[in-house]
Amino acid sequence: MCFGGDLVGTATTAPTEDTTEPTVWGLIGNTPLIPIATDAARDTGGRLFLKAEWLNPGGSVKDRPAREIMRVGLAEGALPRKRLLDASSGNTAVAYAMLGAAARIGVTVCVPANASSERFRLLAVFGAEVVETDPMEGSDGAIRRARELAAAEPERYWYADQYGNRANPVSHYRTTGPEIWRQTGGAITHLVAGVGTSGTLMGAGRFLKEKSSDVQLISVEPDAAFHGLEGLKHMASALVPGIYDPSLIDRQVFVDTESSESAVRTLAQERGLFVGWSTGAALVASDQLLGEGDATVVVVAPDGGGRYLSETRRWARG
């Protein structure tokens, strides 16, 4: 995979302060689209864009659903009276911790013990309570532990359940989808996103299909149950999120960890853009789409590679 071209941001509006919420809450969203010229795009006349979600204040796309979920808790009166409790592979946990600190909401998160050390450090900075879970059980183990805690202490915890909370896809329906439609001038033909909770694809994808039924939704999954793509689920072997609706998906693409890492390394070394592993997987999938003909492909880039720097074994291969 070879990348070239100029770096251009295409956000069309700036965040505005919402005086009813902490200032940092109003900084979420309106992330730019970055055009990426690839060999496949040049050969077919297609266009590829990255939706740069690592530019959210909490560093990931998960700022969007975390804010929407917390708004629900506040509206119900459960927050800040109770502590927010949820399971996360890392990014949503950081988003909760950041937003909770700004709003004086206590946050407890169940996170697999093998999540990157950068995530654990950020959680400590924001003052979240962290419950480490069995690394071999991944996000599913974290979910099971969060459910146990919620059942054992219902008066202490408000279980946010990002994997089953409709506010997750709603956040993307209200923000991510409209931003992409506006930024591409309605020209998008394919939305490509890795599936973890599946909220991004379910919410933004639903919005885009309502705008044009021709938009294709492409889900990206690891090609095996045991993989190195943090945040992504191999649905056939995992606890399937309650918000996931496979009927909305036009195509599933399965990508191996090594190809994803190679795409991340190439993008960093040829474009100066350091993204996370799940973005690498989505870039591999996008190459297949661009190779099939003229297309305008938007890849959701959930986070930056800086959250994985401690995993030096990966870079030793380069």
CATH number at residue 203: 3.40.50.1100
Say if residue 196 is in the same domain as residue 302. Answer: yes
Q: In angstroms, rounded to a whole number, what is the distance separating the alpha carbons of residues 301 and 31?
A: 11
Q: Is residue 132 part of a domain?
A: yes
Q: Check 89, 116, 260, 278 and give the catalytic one.
A: 278
**What is the number of structural domains in the chain?**
2
Could you tell me the pLDDT band of residue 315, with boundaries at 50, 70 and 90? low
Predicted pLDDT at 18:
45
Say if residue 212 is in the same domain as residue 292. Answer: yes
Say if residue 267 is in the same domain as residue 298. Answer: yes
Could you tell me the pLDDT band of residue 311, with boundaries at 50, 70 and 90? confident
Say if residue 132 is in the same domain as residue 183. Answer: no
pLDDT of 5-42, one tens digit each? 443 343 434 444 445 799 999 999 999 999 998 776 67
Read off φ and ψ for residue 104, nearest 5 degrees. Answer: 60, 45
Which residue among 110, 125, 159 closes a domain? 159
| pTM for this predicted structure | 0.90
Which residue among 159, 182, 198 closes a domain? 159
Say if residue 248 is in the same domain as residue 190. Answer: yes
Q: Is residue 165 part of a domain?
A: no
For the ranges 20-24, 30-34, 63-67, 76-80, the lowest mean pLDDT is seen at: 20-24
Cα–Cα distances in Å, from 280 out to 110, 119, 255, 305, 309?
26, 19, 9, 10, 15
Say if residue 29 is in the same domain as residue 113. Answer: no
Q: What's the average model confidence in pLDDT over 304-308?
A: 90
Say if residue 112 is in the same domain as residue 230. Answer: no
Q: What's the average model confidence in pLDDT over 286-290?
A: 89
Predicted pLDDT at 198:
95
Burial tier of 166 (Cβ tally within 10 Å: 0-12, 13-18, 19+) = middle
Predicted pLDDT at 312:
52
Mean pLDDT of the chain: 90
pLDDT greater than 90 at residue 231 = no
Q: State which residues form the domain around 92.
A: 63-159
Say if residue 12 is in the same domain as residue 147. Answer: no
Say if residue 22 is in the same domain as residue 114. Answer: no
Q: Is residue 164 part of a domain?
A: no
Which residue among 136, 159, 182 closes a domain? 159
Predicted pLDDT at 1:
52
Say if residue 180 is in the same domain as residue 271. Answer: yes
Q: Is residue 35 part of a domain?
A: yes
> In the block, which residue shows the tokens 């909370």?
165
Say if residue 92 is in the same domain as residue 154. Answer: yes
- Is residue 278 flagged as an active site residue? yes
Q: Check 51, 60, 62, 82 and give the catalytic one.
A: 62
Q: Is residue 237 part of a domain?
A: yes
Say if residue 44 is in the same domain as residue 84. Answer: no
